[in-house]
Structures are given as C-alpha cells and as structure tokens.
Amino acid sequence: MTETTKITKDAIPENMVRIEIDDKEMIVPRGSMVIEAADKNGISIPRFCYHKKLSIAANCRMCMVDVEKVPKPLPACATPVMPDMKVFTKSKRAIDAQRNVMEFLLINHPLDCPICDQGGECELQDQSMGYGRGVSRYVDSKRVAVDENIGSLIATDMTRCITCTRCVRFLDEITGTDELGGIGRGDRTQIGTAVGRSIDSIMSGNIIDLCPVGALTNKPFRFKARAWELMSAQGVSMHDAIGSNLYYHTRQGKILRTVPKDNESLNEAWISDRDRYGVLGQDAEDRVTAPMVKENGEWKETDWATAMDLAVRKLQANDAKNTAVLAGNQSTNEEYFLLSKLFKALGCANIDYRLGQSDFTQASGLPRMDLNLDEVGNNQQIVLVGSHVGHEQPILAHRIRQAWLKNGSKVSIFNPKQYHFNFETFHHYVGTQIEWVNGLGSLAHCVADLNKVKLEGELGEWINAQATDENLNNLAKALVNKDSNVLFVIGQISNNHPQAGLIKAVVAWLSSQTDGKVYEMATGANAVGAQICGMGSQNSVADILASDSKSFLIYQAENDDFNNAYGAQIKLEDADSVVLMASFADDNMKQVADVILPIGLASEVAGSYFNNFAQMQGFGPAAKLPAETKPGWRVLRVLANMLNVDGFTYDSIDEISSEVALLTVNKGEIDTNIKVKAQKADDLVLFNETTIYDVDMLARRSQPLQDTVHASTDNLNINSVDAKKLGIENAMQIIVNQKVDGDTITQSLFANIDDKVPAGSVNVHKCVGLRTDALNVTLIVGDSV
C-alpha cells in the first residue's frame, strides 16, 4: 500500500485529477499526459521523441508504461491522465515493452559509440545501458544514410538518426522555418532537407541539444572533447539584452561550446545561434594577449608595469576636460562602474557607450519597459516599430511568434525593408527610412482622429501634418479598441535612426492613446548596465567626436561599433593619445592607439549584466584569461591608484558588485514634449543596417557565424524600379556618396537588385563604412565611374 496520505475526493479541484504512478499518489491537471505527471513528481520514464516544449508525436514508443485495467502497454507521452488511473512504470510488462522497443531502435543504429561525437552524452547510449541487451541479436545489414551539408553550425551523421522528429517539429513549431522533414517512407525514412538546402533559422543550434542521438551535433565543437572532460560554468548572453541564461562548456579553461540553461521567464529552453556560437570569436587572430606599446610606429609586447606607466602618462597628456572615454556595450557592470567612477572623479564629462546611435534626445535614461518578457504573449495587438526583431533579440521574436501562434496576437510592422518574419503580419508598412517614420505619424494622426483629441506641441503639429490613410486607419481602429491589449516594440532600427527621439515620442504618445505598453529594446547586451552604472549621462559620443578632446580611452570597442566609423577614425588619428583597453585590436585600432592593455571578455571574468528588464544577473569566470590578459576591473583599479584617485581599494569583484546592486534604477521614460527634427529626401534614402552577426566585437569574429547566410556583405541592395531607372544590373560596381557636415564619404559597392528594399531607397550593411545618421546618398553608376 502507499505510504502517502490518501487524498480525499473533495480536496481535488475541478480542473485536476488524482492518479497514482508507481503507487505514488498525485494530483495533476486534467488533460495532461502521464509523462508530464511523472516528470513533475520525479519518476523517470525513458523517452526519445517527447519534449516538453514540442508537440506530441509518440513515434519512438520508448515511453511505454503499464496502466491498470488496460490490456497492453501505453505510451506515457500520449496517454492523458484519467481520474484514479494507476500507472506502473517498472512492472514486468512496462520494462519488457521498453526493452523490446530499445532492441528495435538499435537495429538500424550503429553500435560504434566510441567514434560518435555524442558518445558520453547520448540519450540513446544512456538508455540502452538501462534497457538494451548486451549483445545484438540482429545480424542483417543496417540502413545507411547519406549526409547532407546543412551549413557551418550543425554537423550531420544521419545514419545515427532514430527519426524521433524532434528536430523536424522544432523547426516547424518553434522557428517556423520548416527546413527538415521525413524523406521516404517506412524503415527507409530519413530526415533531410528539401534537396540540398541549408538550415538558416537563427535559432537552429537548438536542434543539436534536442537530438537524442549523435545525428545532429555542434559542427565547430566536433571531435574537440568528450562530455566527461568538460566543466560547465554559468553565463549570460553577451550579444543581446534579453540576458539569456546559458552554460559554457570548457576544457582546460577554454570555452569549447555553449548550451542553454533553462530559464522559463527569459529564454525558456532555447538560445539563439548568436549566443551559442558568438563566443567562438574569442580565438580571433587579432586577440591581444599581452600588453603592447607603440614605439616609432612599431608594436612591441611589454610587461604590465611598463604599459600601465605609459597608459597613465597618455591619459594625463590632456586635462580631464579634453579626455574622453568611449566604451562598447558588452562589458560587465563592474567595469562600467569603475570606469565612470574613475573618470568622473577626474572631472571628465566625456563618457559614452552609445557608439552606434546618433540621436540622443531620448537616450539619456533606461529604455522604457512596461512589461516582463513572459507577458508579451498577453497582447492582442503588437506593433513593431523599426525592428528586424529576430535579428535584434531572437528570443523576443520567439515570444512574439508564440503569441501569434497560441493566442492569435496580431502583429503589425513599420520598417525600412520588407523582412520575412516567422509570424503572420496584420499590417506591414514598408517605406524608406523617412517614409516609414511618416507612416507611423499617419497612424498617430488616425488614432487622434478616432479619439477626437486635439494635437498640441511640436509633436502634435508634426503628427497633424502626416496624411491619414485607409489602411492605417484600420490598424488605428484595432489599436484604440478598448478590449485589446496593445504592445509597441521599439526596435534597434529605431534606436539607430537619426530621428530616434521623434519615433519614440510618437510611440509613447500612441501608447497613451491606446492604453498600450511599450517595450523599448536596448542595443547591446549590457547597454542597460552601462546606463545604470553612469556611462551615458554626460556628453554623447557625437558631442565628444565634435569636441576638442585630445586624449582617449577606448574600452572594449572598435571602429565598427561607431555610427560614424569614418569620423571616429579621423578623430582618433588626430588625437594626442589613445589608450586601448580591449580583448581585440584590429588594424584600425592599432593604427590609432599608443598602448594596448589586454583585458578579458565577459566570459572570462566574474561580474554581472543588467538585461533589458533591468534584472541584474551575475556570473563567474567561465574561461581562463589567455596569457597576460587581466580582468578589466583589476586594471581599472590599479589605474585609479596610479592616477591618485581615492576610493579604489576593492580587493574582490564582490565588493564592486554589491555597490552596483545599490545603484538606483530609474524606470525608463519617454518624453512626448520634444523638438522635431525633420528629414527630407533629396535623392535616394539610405538604410544602413546592422546585421545580426555584426552587433559586437565578439560576434564579428565568430567564423562559424560569419560563414552563414546572415553574414554582412558589401552589397548595395536596391529596388528593381530604381535599378531600371539608373541602368543598374546585378553585380555592377556602384559608387555611393554620402554627404554629411560638408564631408563626403565614398564607398564602392556591388549592386544587388532586391525588391525587399522599397523604391526610393538603398540598403547597405553597416560594416561597409557609411554613416547611419545621414540618410541622403547619391549613386554613380557604370561609365561615369
């Protein structure tokens, strides 16, 4: 008999039922499956095809259990619980069924675990230890499958596949990209793509974790280490501000791969490919691992004392007013805290981390965030404002897709390019960088008319000046409907837009009119942390580049991070002194810097990040610091002492973290009382796009990511209508001229005719070196070159 106390009938709520599994009594939700009940109560049932986040396929038959009064074993993953059901997972009938299934599964599966990359962490291997026979009775030939090349991230060994279809279901249900399927039939079914395609989903790496056998494995990690040689260390995403939780797997102090750590409120059970493979940028050729100084134009490695001495002298070359600190957005809070504390103590007001932005009118606080990530799905109307969401915060895109799929949320979009999304769109407004902002204004105008409000102030005047139209009026009607929750997502395209302040003000105004919420994306993994730690409250990067600053400290940043990469390079070339504290130094940085102090990446140091929701998440060092590299906070501490600044007596990172934790976090707000900066199109309007794997130093250097279809190109994408007008054909060389502040930036690019770009617009990737803040460009084509 059971030892647990009997549950009386009255104690069971309406929507629950009482069952027993292996004599253990439990109350579980009506309609749930036996396997879920078992999992929740710590009773293990073997399985291959079942996964809590995917639909039920019940095709592997490994989860057979014995149910009282049922004449044959049943699959636990597809058997709903019934009142007073009695399930036995270890009875003779259950175990026999499981053993038989195992024998069939192993018929076509190679028995060569020692040469399989999954060996040691394979669900099939584990379970065949428990349920398999010592020696196979099968003597006939086994099925063999031909491998496909599905891209640079995932290795295939399809002979090992047991056709559980977890990968197929993931790509259908979660990413919505449907790249894999079951080809053929019966015992010859193979999992494959539709003839030689690659898997291009931005979350594709998760099928590696899902695959219970060694059929899909991590390509860059292939044959690098065995599971039992690896240490696991907790980390936080270094590429976007969702703050996805993950584990780094290291051997001898080196990160070899990344896997997700479940966090139901953030990344659930997944991570994006950027988070999985981005860290591999750590080994790039231009990694600096020893302090270096420049002597007569030549770089020489030296010891820390010499380099620090020089750095101090360089930083003292000018008074604090003419000194500036420019930082990237993926360092730890602790580093930002010390940086801003040190330079503020010195009297320096030129500190910024918003290197990619150009309009700072609404960027001096935290991003406005009216909800938690897991509340995104509660909104019936979601409006994306200037966002290629999957490429900016992949996990947010996943949440929006689930909202569309499960709750029927309607998603509308305002963008400068016709991106493909994995959810249906309700209204998809595409126009040039100038047109779509005006379109947003038109929407506001429609809302104002529907709500009969008087528009006031500069913003009101601007909204009033935008034409209303039928289509947008439909959207407006849906948004003002009292019964629907509305969410506005301000994306990174908006953040980097020269009219960012206006866009945000319109959104804030719209949210006030529709009772909506605002999700303002941060650009950069720890941009929020940088803001909280005081890196952004002073002069903006644009002010700094226009100022007389002559001494610079560049902290974990490089040329490609700047909106105005060209201007930044010139400014740094002209500077008296440039101290670079970074993990990498490319040729551009080496050209301008005088001394390089090598510091660790966030994956190599202890510290913390703030995510988009202002949650502080700490982590320890996962990897060993390479060679002479030191944690940034230690270097800053010593630097402070050498510069004779008080208050830098920290002996451990924890002391700094606890000070960071005490900082006040002011809720992000958006002002609607603004000055409107108008933009006018002269000729073609530029959309300068930061692509998914070009967001930071680390992702830029990850070769597996750069080998995917999502890598940046030096194409000039142009609509076929404009191409025809200008006589442009594919692959033609085109000269682009961008005029700004009396300067002209010129780049030579290759034409690519693409109707995803709206007419009147040209689209380039940020890495080609044009500025994001000047929208007007002219092209020189063909003979006139």
Question: Rule CB under 6 A: which residues touch ligand FES?
Answer: 47-50, 58, 60-63, 75, 77
Q: Report in angstroms how near the CB of residue 64 gets to ligand FES at its nearest.
A: 8
In terms of CB distance, is 164 or 505 closer to ligand SF4? 164
In terms of CB distance, is 459 or 757 closer to another protein? 757
**List of residues 6+ apart from 92 with CB closer than 8 A:** none
Query: Under the criterion CB under 6 A, does residue 216 sit at the interface with ligand SF4?
Result: yes
Question: Of another protein, ligand FES, ligand SF4, none, which one does residue 213 interact with (CB within 5 to 8 Å by kind)?
Answer: ligand SF4
**Separation of alpha carbons 68 and 46, rounded Å:** 19
In terms of CB distance, is 198 or 474 closer to ligand SF4? 198
Question: Of ligand FES, another protein, ligand SF4, none, which one does residue 161 interact with (CB within 5 to 8 Å by kind)?
Answer: ligand SF4
Query: Under the criterion CB under 6 A, does residue 164 sit at the interface with ligand SF4?
Result: yes
Q: Report in angstroms how near the CB of residue 87 gets to ligand FES at its nearest.
A: 13
Query: Under the criterion CB under 6 A, does residue 242 sit at the interface with ligand SF4?
Result: no
Taking the CB of residue 713, how many other CB atoms lie within 10 A of it? Answer: 15
Q: Report in angstroms how near the CB of residue 58 gets to ligand FES at its nearest.
A: 4
Half-sphere exposure at residue 615, Cβ-oriented, CA atoms within 13 angstroms: 13
Q: How far is CA 292 from CA 208, 589, 632, in A?
A: 40, 13, 16
Whole-number CA gyration radius for the chain: 29
- Among residues 37, 67, 116, 215, the one that binds ligand SF4 under rule CB under 6 A: 215
Query: Under the criterion CB under 6 A, does residue 213 sit at the interface with ligand SF4?
Result: yes
Question: Of another protein, ligand SF4, ligand FES, none, which one does residue 625 interact with (CB within 5 to 8 Å by kind)?
Answer: none
Q: Report in angstroms how near the CB of residue 518 gets to ligand SF4 at its nearest.
A: 39
**Separation of alpha carbons 741 and 694, rounded Å:** 26
Amino acid identity of 699?
A
Q: Report in angstroms how near the CB of residue 51 gets to ligand FES at its nearest.
A: 9
Nearest-10 crossing angle of helices 304-315, 632-642: 60
In terms of CB distance, is 51 or 766 closer to ligand SF4? 51
Contact 769, 747 (CB under 8 A): yes
Q: Report in angstroms how near the CB of residue 270 gets to another protein at its nearest.
A: 17
Question: Of ligand FES, another protein, ligand SF4, none, which one does residue 55 interact with (CB within 5 to 8 Å by kind)?
Answer: another protein
Question: Of ligand FES, ligand SF4, another protein, none, which one does residue 271 interact with (CB within 5 to 8 Å by kind)?
Answer: none
235 forms beta bridges with 246
Q: Report in angstroms how near the CB of residue 424 gets to another protein at its nearest.
A: 5
- The residue with tokens 């692959």 is 731
Contact 537, 344 (CB under 8 A): no
In terms of CB distance, is 62 or 601 closer to ligand FES? 62
Contact 199, 148 (CB under 8 A): no
Q: Which residues within the stretch 173-212 sit at the binding site for ligand SF4 (CB under 6 A)?
A: 191, 210-212
**Separation of alpha carbons 618 and 332, rounded Å:** 9
Q: How far is CA 413 from CA 241, 389, 417, 584, 642, in A?
A: 21, 10, 10, 37, 52
Q: Per-residue string for binding with ligand SF4, 102-141, x by CB under 6 A?
A: ----------------------------------------
How many residues touch another protein (CB under 8 A)?
Answer: 25
Parallel, antiparallel, or unpaired: how do β-strands 381-385 and 410-415 relate? parallel
Q: Among 593, 645, 766, 748, which residue's Cα sits nearest to residue 695?
A: 766
Question: Of another protein, ligand FES, ligand SF4, none, which one does residue 122 interact with (CB within 5 to 8 Å by kind)?
Answer: none
Contact 349, 375 (CB under 8 A): no
Contact 238, 525 (CB under 8 A): yes
> Edge-to-edge, what's the strand order for the sheet holding 381-385?
425-430, 410-415, 381-385, 486-490, 517-520
In terms of CB distance, is 28 or 592 closer to ligand FES? 28
723 DSSP 8-state letter: H
Q: Report in angstroms how near the CB of residue 216 gets to ligand SF4 at its nearest.
A: 5
Contact 659, 642 (CB under 8 A): no
For residue 636, the surrounding DSSP H or E stretch is helix 632-642
Question: Of ligand FES, ligand SF4, another protein, none, which one does residue 60 interact with (CB within 5 to 8 Å by kind)?
Answer: ligand FES
Question: Of another protein, ligand SF4, ligand FES, none, which one does residue 176 interact with (CB within 5 to 8 Å by kind)?
Answer: another protein
Query: Under the criterion CB under 6 A, does residue 63 sit at the interface with ligand SF4?
Result: no
Amino acid identity of 415?
N
Binding interface with ligand SF4 (CB under 6 A): 161-167, 191, 210-213, 215-216
Binding interface with another protein (CB under 8 A): 55, 172-173, 176-185, 193-197, 405, 420-425
